[in-house]
Chains A and B, each alone.
Chain A
Amino acid sequence: AQSVTQLGSHVSVSEGALVLLRCNYSSSVPPYLFWYVQYPNQGLQLLLKYTTGATLVKGINGFEAEFKKSETSFHLTKPSAHMSDAAEYFCAVSESGSARQLTFGSGTQLTVLP
């Protein structure tokens, strides 16, 4: 069984500051890991994903995440927050396999302060 824990349901940063959103996962097999962003009243948009290969993955809008197997983590970072980054961010895990359902974390609401 898979699970995802996102530490911090709400994170506030100042515009221009580092964004760090934490995600830890549990999986019995090598995981596929994803970060999705949800803007108000919109669907889920993929930010980035890790499947195999390079453990530091870059996504859209300047975000990146690093897969650390030893720490079972996949934290999301962005060097400099922008007001438009304010949204809810979901970490998700899936196992390789034919169906590959996603298991989501509970989400982190990011607020960017002027």
Chain B
Amino acid sequence: EPEVTQTPSHQVTQMGQEVILRCVPISNHLYFYWYRQILGQKVEFLVSFYNNEISEKSEIFDDQFSVERPDGSNFTLKIRSTKLEDSAMYFCASRVVRSEQYFGPGTRLTVT
């Protein structure tokens, strides 16, 4: 069964460094998402992406964040200058029209 994959599974970075989290959505999916879950808190929407542009973004998704689909398979989330409060599990999700979202296993980001 096709699945969403994410790399790396765990990323440790120092405050102020740039990080890129990578996702490979399911191949025929058209809508892509990033969510995050700070330890012990609820899963929060960050951004949705369709037709090579951002469809919606939350207040969390400020100028420090960007997304890109650089080729036909990858979907990336970049954090330009990480802060301690960016430490969280980041989930990628994808879907086709009129379907539910399929989630990847997540990348745990630890900012020290």
Contacts and interface: CB of A to CB of B under 8 A. Distances in A.
Contacts of B75: none
22 contacts: A43-B4, A43-B91, A43-B103, A44-B91, A44-B93, A46-B100, A51-B98, A92-B43, A98-B50, A99-B55, A100-B48, A100-B95, A100-B101, A101-B45, A101-B56, A102-B33, A102-B35, A102-B45, A102-B101, A103-B45, A105-B42, A107-B43
B43 A104 contact: yes
Contacts of B106: 42-43
Interface residues on A, range: 20 to 34
Interface residues of B, number: 25
Given A43-B106, A99-B48, A99-B50, A34 B100 contact: yes
A51 B98 CA distance: 9
A45 interface: yes
A36 B112 CA distance: 31
A73 B21 CA distance: 36
Contacts of A92: 43
A63 to B, nearest CB: 15
